[in-house]
Amino acid sequence: MQQPKCSHCGNARCKHGAPSVHVLDVAGWEIHKQQFVCEAIAQQLGILPQKQQLELSLPPDVLANLLGDLKPGTAAPATGDPTRPRPQETICTGCRLTLGAFKMRGRVGCPRCYETFRPQLVPLLERVHDATAHRGRFPGRPARIAPDPVDLTELRTRLQTAIAQERYEEAARLRDSLKKLSGGLEPDRDDGSGAS
């Protein structure tokens, strides 16, 4: 990754150190805006709690900020039933978690959530891990004999873009390679949208 510049002081390295907090303004499927700030600025903006130590699991409020709701105080209040959707809101069929509740808590509710909230999760994974696909071991098999790491996510993202831009020939080709690479594990899908 290229060293980003701090969105507030414009330096790749300011007196607080290198900018280490990536703030994404995500709405629906699109990243509207992204900025990098250093930790001290992030604390001033209320994105990071004051004097926060490096946490291994990001606290839910930091994740919520990475997932959207840039300005402090604009997040929906943390009350009510997390499984009761607002009209037309994305909801996981596995656990009934709503997109809003996921953004607020930064925790998913079941394995299927990874599929349901893919559009929000992929940029988050990219940011946190600098990767979007597993390259470690498979259950019962050590990594060294696992199949060649296949970046299904990347293919799927390209497929979605191709469909959105009505490039159908490319989409068909991508869908074929997806099917081949996932060894038939990939379910047939009409529109490539992961959300239900």
Number of neighbours of residue 177 by Cβ within 10 angstroms: 14
CB 118, CB 195: distance < 8 Å: yes
Contact with other proteins (CB under 8 A) among 129, 145, 184, 188: 129
Instruction: Please tell me whether residue 38 binds Zn ion under the rule CB under 5 A.
Output: yes
| Residue 63: contacted member of other proteins, Zn ion, none (CB under 5 to 8 Å, by partner type) | other proteins
Distance (Å, rounded) from C-alpha 112 to C-alpha 33? 28
Instruction: Please tell me whether residue 136 binds other proteins under the rule CB under 8 A.
Output: yes
Residue count, binding to Zn ion (CB under 5 A): 12
Neighbour-count burial of 104, counting CB atoms closer than 10 A to its CB (0-12 exposed, 13-18 middle, 19+ buried): buried
| 45 versus 94: smaller Cβ distance to other proteins | 94
Contact with other proteins (CB under 8 A) among 9, 14, 75, 133: 133
Q: Where are the alpha helices (DSSP H) in the chain?
A: 39-44, 60-67, 99-105, 113-116, 118-129, 152-164, 168-181
Q: Which residues bind other proteins (CB under 8 A)?
A: 17-18, 20, 51, 53-54, 56-58, 63, 82-83, 94-95, 97, 105-111, 113-114, 121, 124-125, 128-140, 142-144, 150, 152-153, 182, 185
